[in-house]
Amino acid sequence: MQKKLPELSIFFPFWNEEKNIEEVVSNAAVVAPTIANKWEIIMVDDGSKDSTLKKAKELAGKNPNFKVVSHFPNRGYGAALKEGFLNSQYKYIVFVDGDGQFDFSQVTQFIEKIKSADVVIGYRKKRRDSFERHILMNFLKAWDFVLFGFYFRDIDCGFKMFTRVGLDTISPLRSEGAMITSEILAKARRKKLKIEQVEVTHFPRKYGIQSGANLPVIVRAVLESFTLWLDIHNGRI
């Protein structure tokens, strides 16, 4: 039987996930007490236009281990992750995208790895996304290799775990958009943190709309990547 973590912060970034939030959070709440002595679940609403925030507040009213953090208007994926990190209070931190495409119970694989690592990142065994997102994923791998000199099997997988020490070492994070995952890995590599990779299952999205392939998101990511490169090149990181 796997030994429990002493404490664990779990957070989910949500944007227009009214049809997913209850199932995602409820599933995590079942697993959490089996893997950690103390735990919390933070629901980060990034300016949703639907009833995501309302449902988050309703869930938080039913469990003292739940917290809600919200932005308005929408600021972006990176901003949501940064808010989750900022509001996580425990020694270990894990975030999972709130779109219902991951099985939170697979966090046990991350826990096994985090015992000897600073950061554990998931990679999807079979990515259940559109053809356009597959193309963007491969482009991102090549882009990050050219700019930052690293290669991982699945850079933007939305299932990652950190030790508090590891997270503090790469903080503060700057990116507000999709380049947040590249920033995390670039800084972790530069700071010589130990990074492990874990295979996870990826499910087709049941509800909601993906935004990662939108042109404004892509343009913002490109601009943020150049800013990150300049920060590293000029020794500011």
**pLDDT score of 154:** 94
Q: Give the pLDDT band of residue 131 (cuts 50, 70, 90).
A: low
- Comparing CA positions, the residue from 233, 82, 78, 235 lying closest to residue 148 is 233
- In this model, does residue 2 exceed pLDDT 80? no
Largest distance between two CA atoms of the chain: 49
CB 56 within 8 A of CB 28: no
Structure tokens at 98: 């709130």
CA–CA distance, 197 with 154 (Å, rounded to integer): 9
Q: Over the chain, what is the mean pLDDT?
A: 92
**pLDDT score of 3:** 86
Chain position carrying tokens 């490109």: 222
N-terminal to C-terminal alpha carbon distance within the chain: 40
DSSP 8-state symbol, 104: G
Q: Is residue 64 reached through a cis peptide bond, with omega within 30 degrees of 0 on the bond before it?
A: no
- In this model, does residue 147 exceed pLDDT 60? yes
Structure tokens at 138: 């491969």
Q: How far is CA 81 from CA 75, 86, 135, 138, in A?
A: 11, 9, 24, 23
- In this model, does residue 220 exceed pLDDT 90? no
CA–CA distance, 185 with 120 (Å, rounded to integer): 10
- Comparing CA positions, the residue from 184, 2, 191 lying closest to residue 110 is 2
- Comparing CA positions, the residue from 9, 7, 3 lying closest to residue 36 is 7
User: Which of 85-94, 107-116, 134-143, 157-166 comes out lowest in average pLDDT?
Assistant: 134-143
Secondary structure class of 183 (helix, strand, coil): helix
CA–CA distance, 184 with 198 (Å, rounded to integer): 17
Q: What is the CATH number of domain 5-233?
A: 3.90.550.10
- In this model, does residue 47 exceed pLDDT 90? yes
Identify which has the larger pLDDT, 202 or 214.
202
The CB-side HSE value for 26 (13 A sphere, CA atoms) comes to 9
- In this model, does residue 212 exceed pLDDT 60? no
Structure tokens at 36: 């950690």
Q: Give the pLDDT band of residue 217 (cuts 50, 70, 90).
A: confident
Q: Give the pLDDT band of residue 211 (cuts 50, 70, 90).
A: low
CB 111 within 8 A of CB 37: no
- In this model, does residue 9 exceed pLDDT 80? yes
Structure tokens at 50: 């639907």
CB 88 within 8 A of CB 8: no
Structure tokens at 232: 């590293």
Specify the pTM: 0.92
**pLDDT score of 213:** 58
Give the tens place of pLDDT for each residue, 49-108: 999 999 999 999 999 999 999 999 999 999 999 999 999 999 999 999 999 999 999 999
Q: Mean pLDDT throughout 187-211?
A: 92
- Percent residues over pLDDT 70 in the chain: 95
**pLDDT score of 214:** 67
**How many other β-carbons are positioned within 10 Å of the β-carbon of residue 22?**
14
Structure tokens at 137: 């994923």
